[in-house]
Amino acid sequence: MGLCWLQEFLTPEGAEALLLQGCRGAGGEGVGPFDWVVDAIDSVRPKQLLIASAFKLGIPLVTAMGAGGRLDPGRVRVVPLSTTFNDSFAALLRKGLRRLGVDLDQHSLAMAERGQSFKRECT
């Protein structure tokens, strides 16, 4: 299947169903769960719900953190969410995900600040 873009209002009750339904066919019916989820949600609670649901269902997920306003794409790194730093949005996200029982030793995007290095590089 190709790329599918959804613009849906995410609710706690509907997050898992949305991921299991996947893209909609011509008749509006779901055609099956997503293979991957790419998340660019800017609000903490909906982002937590989407990530927790994807983890619970075993759907791989790439999520973007607070890279807004940063100009050097060469400094974007793929790192475990638990090792991000200098990002208050990611800190709030981690706290909420721990409450939801999500294992934080997974990968997410983070921006390296000039002169700083990550604790661990992922290959």
Q: Using H for helix, E for strand and C for coil, what is the string for 68-101?
A: CCCCCHHHEEEEEHHHCCCCHHHHHHHHHHHHCC
Digit-coded pLDDT (tens) for 8-33 = 788 888 889 888 888 776 566 667 78
pTM of the full predicted structure? 0.72
Q: Tell me the residue type at 102.
A: V
- Does the pLDDT of residue 119 top 70, yes or no? no
